[in-house]
Structure 1
């Protein structure tokens, strides 16, 4: 009888240990898969500009690809250390350059520079703490972030005006569930010089154009989880019209 009790007790212990050894499954999270920006009126109507996202095992953005009309124009594949993107491999198929590394510099957890290894060039960003503003010291492009690390103001020197963004903080934007999202908007906009501002934690509800002193509201569509799925808006007195479609996936 004692042997039976001992065997039963040992079996319970072994079963308990095997249960503890099993890896804990991580819950799925909803993240952005791709963003399609379609020009519906104005210059280059019907053109679609797609931004595609990939993720690593830590559910951080590992790659961003920019595909106008479905063709890869350029991409960044990110490398993380201590959950911070410290470099990326840059690919520009149309430029004839090889795939090469771009490294990022930080000071006190603030983005301060990127180094282009192929052209041996460093581009610096000055940081104004009072405004939470980053300025590209070469192009003079400026980005101001809010407390959610969304870009609330973008001044592009090549077009000479400022766009200011307002957000709906009750709903969810494409970066809402993305880990380390604080680094992505400034890295992406700082290097790609993209005119749009789709990479946000909360959905944009309007763009103010200071040249025309004009506020351009968005008509947004949301899914049952509160994520923005479509944005329709115009710029330049309605002469430019856009439709942004947000597509998500679970990882």
Structure 2
């Protein structure tokens, strides 16, 4: 059985700059880490491996430096890494990203299960996992909060649907996205990192992805574009109201009404 865990290298700080022309994050020279939600996907893969003896592949898309996130996954227990890296992949939106990673997964033989974190902390779209399942033509379940059972035929999982929870059996091949807290992630192990120093990392360019359509990748293959992006401001306005309580309360109500923050039913 083969499991693929999708991981991403994200900024480890909120102090990031944005390219004003392309609207993408400037990632050069900033500290990075594995996307926190991907830690839960990795731990889910490890728990399934205990039940099935599966081999765990990790895949990521990014610059050559993204090998570091694959090495981090090895220290958590992954067996083999795949890096999609090519300047032609740069600037991809969620659709182009999903298509590109799905094309990379197709290079791995006999994939039974794909695991993704619910979302990434730098994009927060929660769309890449389901879109990859659509590209690959396999069933998927999102927002998985509990792994009830796993064998070599299917998974039984619990899914959070906001107002209700659902329990479903999903046969392989399939994709699931997992919520924070499905399992408690283990810390990277120095011993495992040393043992995994020679674990294979396969580097794939656009030309090496045999099924890839060049018109569907990168910035030119992205149907959505960022119209405007900016750094949020944190301006704080303060006002002091002096005088008797009743008079100050009346002034406060008048201010709230003027700012359309007060309705008469609040009176």
Range class of TM-score, shorter chain: under 0.3
TM-score by length of 1: 0.25
Q: Which has the higher helix share?
A: 2
TM-score by length of 2: 0.24
Q: Which has the higher strand share?
A: 1
Question: Which has the higher relative contact order, 1 or 2, with Cα contacts under 8 A spaced 6 or more apart?
Answer: 2
